[in-house]
Amino acid sequence: MVRLVQITDCHLGAEKNFISHGVNTYESFSRVLHEITTKLPPSLIIASGDISSSGEECSYQLFSDVMESSLIPYRWLPGNHDDFLMMSNIIVQPFVRVEKQENWAVVSLVSADPGNVAGVIAKDEIEQLRSLLKNCQNYFVLLFVHHHPVSINSRWLDEHCISNNWQVEEILAQYDNVRGVFTGHVHQERVTNWNDLLVYNTPSTCFQFASDAERFQLGEKAPGYRWIELYPDGSFDTGVNYLKA
């Protein structure tokens, strides 16, 4: 069994005392990471974007320092609040496209479009996806991407859905070894069926959004993270844990 953990939407500020929507995001991120390392240490952590609240250099330094001190291998991808170039320069761990874990391939896809809150998979990312799935046919594949590719039944968040999701759909339809899609951005736990592929949304390490909401509304859940346990036969278990007060 291979255990992965997904953390997402850390929204770190430039300083450790930065507060967003009533939450000290550095503190909640550190608490989440402490729980992961002590309760269910994984072989890999994937941070699926919006690591920073507004792309400050110091926020990436804070992230990098905490992740490095955990001694757990980690990967990251950018969200709409991030500065891809800056984070690539600051975070000690570089961006990695595909990570192989036994007979599983963990694939990172970029949906962040500079200057845009909504997601789009750029042309070169579509080409990357096409070629890497071709090369990963002997592996079971999990896809990690910041934005959600399909409606989560919240009107204001659905406006940020990956706008060219049909192009991704077309590629994924050619492969039966892609086992799941894992996203951030929506700050809530949810599972949605996308043409027989399950999409797992993961709560933020700081504040959450209310589900099934017409417009912006904070949720009441605590900071959280998702664990994923992969088996050699291509099946997996997954669930979400929230910090206890």
Interface with Fe ion by CB under 5 A: which residues?
50, 79-80, 185
Least CB distance to Fe ion at residue 81 (A): 6
Specify the residue, 185 or 226, whose C-beta has the smaller distance to Fe ion: 185
Residue with tokens 């951030």: 184
Q: How far is the CB of 5 from Fe ion (least distance, A)?
A: 19
For Fe ion, the closer of residues 84 and 231 by Cβ is 84
- Name the closest residue to Fe ion (Cβ): 185
C-alpha 73/C-alpha 44 separation (Å) is 5
Nearest residue (CB) to Fe ion, 101 versus 201: 201
Least Å distance between CB 147 and Fe ion?
7
Cα separations (Å) of 38 from 31, 70, 72, 206, 237? 11, 10, 11, 19, 20
12 DSSP 8-state letter: B
> In this structure, are residues 230 and 2 in contact, taking their beta carbons and an 8 Å threshold?
yes
Burial class (CB in 10 A: 0-12, 13-18, 19+), 135: exposed
In whole angstroms, the minimum distance from the beta carbon of 119 to Fe ion comes to 8
Is 141 or 199 the residue whose CB approaches Fe ion more closely?
A: 199
Distance CA 3, CA 231 (A): 9
